[in-house]
Amino acid sequence: MINTVTRLAEQPVTKTKYKQSCNTSLPRVIMGFVMKNKYDEKRLSIKKMLGPVNVSHTYVIDNKPESIHIHGVWLNPQPIMNKLCETISRAKPLTPQSYMNILKYSRLSCGNCLQHLRDGVYPMDITCLPLLSKNKFKSDYLYLRSLLDHNNQLPWFSSWSEFNLFMLCPSFIEPNNYK
């Protein structure tokens, strides 16, 4: 069992499972998980009745396009989201500290998920759910755990992971800057 799990953690995600986010439909808010490897794909599965999606969002690092893969549920955003996206687009340069300050000013936070901050991908703690979404999901950990399917091939604790919110916005770095 442990060898199987270790091998899964060393394998990249199945990129064909993820649909590229479209800049024309952004900004949007998704509640879910960043998928880093096959182990994440195996252990973190949102129940089908919620209509989970697999999204790939391209960002730029060191002048090269990279992708972040998210398994989650699209949410109906509150009006604050558009204002937040506009504020972030005006913040030049956007640093982790300036991003946290923008969120703090809007009574939002990213203390548990700042490591996922990318160009066009703006993470927020699940406790911000009522401020960002019109959906009636509770931000309570036990309630959110009930939204996950458990894989019986893995240990019971493997799916214990925290949901995050991700505001996906158009990239603020021009595509012609990609090398």
Q: How confident is the model at residue 30 (pLDDT cuts 50, 70, 90)?
A: very high
pTM: 0.86
Of 74, 69, 50, 81, give the one whose Cα is nearest residue 143: 50
Of 103, 99, 100, 80, give the one whose Cα is nearest residue 91: 99
Structure tokens at 119: 């160009």
Note whether 60 and 66 are within 8 A (CB): yes
Q: What are the residue boundaries of the structural domains of the chain, listed by start?
A: 2-169
pLDDT digits (tens, 9 = 90+) for 111-133: 999 999 998 899 999 999 988 88
Q: Which amino acid is at 176?
A: N
Query: What's the rounded Cα separation, in Å, for the pair 94 and 103?
Result: 12
- Among 71-85, 93-107, 133-147, where is mean pLDDT lowest? 133-147
pLDDT above 90 as % of the chain: 44
Using CA atoms, how far residue 139 sits from 102, 111, 133, 155, in Å, is: 21, 15, 11, 25
Check residue 175 and give its pLDDT: 43
The overall average pLDDT reported for the chain is 85
Tokens 């913040």 correspond to what residue?
A: 91
Check residue 146 and give its pLDDT: 83
| Contacts of 26 by beta carbon, 8 Å cutoff, 6+ apart | 120, 168, 169, 170
Check residue 177 and give its pLDDT: 38
More confident residue, 76 or 5: 76
Q: Per residue in 90-128, is it b (16+ CB within 10 Å) or e — as a string? A: eeeebeeeebbebbeebebebeebbebbbbbbbbbbbeb
Note whether 57 and 75 are within 8 A (CB): no
pLDDT digits (tens, 9 = 90+) for 57-92: 988 788 888 899 999 999 998 888 888 988 998 888
pLDDT digits (tens, 9 = 90+) for 152-167: 777 767 777 889 999 9
Check residue 178 and give its pLDDT: 34
